[in-house]
Amino acid sequence: MDKEQSPARLRDTLVTGSTIGAQEKLPREKKVQDYLRASTSDNTRKAYRSAIRQFEKWGGRLPTNNQVLVRYLLNRAEVLNSRTLDLHLTAIGQWHQYQGMSNPVTDPLVQKTMQGIRRTHGKPKQKAKALSMQHLAAMAGHLRSQVASKKKARDLALLLTGFFGAFRRSELVAIQVSDLIWEEEGLIIRLPKSKTDQSGEGILRALPYGDAQVCPASALKHWLKIAAITEGPVFRAVNRWDTVQPQQLNATAINDLLKKLGLACGFDFVDQISSHSFRRGLSTAAAREKVSFELIKKQGGWKSDAVVWGYIEEGQQFSDNASSILMKKMAELLR
């Protein structure tokens, strides 16, 4: 296609994020490529690239066919989690679709084979441990007992903001000072983009002022003051000499912090703690306190009603339980 970039290579941007050689980039082509890349999140593209690399490392080549895919599934069924294999099929299928080719993943033989693998080798998805109010209080108490430092102030602000704002770790580390809107009643954090807002319309998360011991807005204001942060990233790395660094905190550091606090508090589920414990914790704790579905959904920014109802059921699985009601009745009969 003389100097025009082929549609196939442009479509490949969606799956692999591959780029065109600098000498080939014309203004219009670059715009198309940029928009194609923006249509899929970075994390999704990374996952797809990894899946395709693993398929090719096994010996597969793209384009492929249903017979090769079945052999791949049979070979990897006892090595990889069934959800991982599902992701591999999705990535391979997306590649074929965006190349305008017949998608072998939709072949009935491939689908039935994958269905059998799920039923034979499927395992329950490992869920992050939901932090309860008792867990949060223990963590916050441990931090407050430490000698005053910038790191202590940051960690406390991070803990309280992450929990009461039901933030994802990617959202926490991306918060900028310019995203903070201070009001008389508390703090509003503007999220320019999140997992559930890929179009960048923006999400607002409100944190009202509360008791000084547990108030995320107050803890955040204190951290910004002693760290002298007036612009740029809110949550930043702090080195061993308690010096605040200019760059934003690495997202993986949040998991490390939560596990470290869990160990210090003597929790027996440290290996189940992750940044997602914030979102699960807020939703299940709110459900136990009979907070309404609408308020829980709003605070977490969830798009799926089913996900929110799942958290509510988890939070109320002991309080709203048929057995507990019947046990009370039986206890009365035995008196």
Highest mean pLDDT among 126-135, 172-181, 310-319: 172-181
Q: Is residue 195's pLDDT more than 90?
A: no
Helix and strand element counts for the chain (H, E): 15, 5
pLDDT tens per residue, range 220-275? 999 999 999 999 999 999 999 999 999 999 989 999 999 999 999 999 999 999 88
**From edge to edge, which strands make up the β-sheet containing 180-183?**
180-183, 186-191, 203-208
pLDDT tens per residue, range 154-172? 999 999 999 999 999 989 9
The C-alpha atoms of residue 70 and residue 88 are separated, in whole angstroms, by 12
pLDDT at 114: 93
More confident residue, 29 or 216: 216
Token look-up 């320019």 returns 192
- Calculate mean pLDDT across residues 120-130: 79
The share of the chain scoring above pLDDT 70, in percent, equals 84
Structural contact between residues 161 and 219, judged by C-beta atoms closer than 8 angstroms:
yes
Q: Pick the closest to residue 273 from 96, 181, 144, 138 (CA basis).
A: 138
Q: Is residue 133's pLDDT more than 50?
A: yes
Q: Is residue 7's pLDDT more than 50?
A: no
The C-alpha atoms of residue 132 and residue 128 are separated, in whole angstroms, by 12
- Indicate the pTM of the whole model: 0.69
Q: Is residue 16's pLDDT more than 70?
A: no
More confident residue, 14 or 125: 125
The set of residues, in sequence order, having a beta carbon less than 8 Å from that of 312 and lying 6+ positions away, is: 283, 284, 287, 293, 296
More confident residue, 331 or 11: 331
pLDDT at 302: 85
Structural contact between residues 18 and 99, judged by C-beta atoms closer than 8 angstroms:
no
Q: Is 202 left (phi over 0), alpha (psi -120 to 50) or beta?
A: left
The set of residues, in sequence order, having a beta carbon less than 8 Å from that of 283 and lying 6+ positions away, is: 130, 166, 296, 300, 308, 311, 312, 315
- The H or E element containing residue 236 is strand 236-238
pLDDT tens per residue, range 272-318? 998 899 999 999 999 999 999 999 999 988 888 888 888 888 888 88
The set of residues, in sequence order, having a beta carbon less than 8 Å from that of 273 and lying 6+ positions away, is: 128, 129, 131, 255, 258, 259, 262, 267
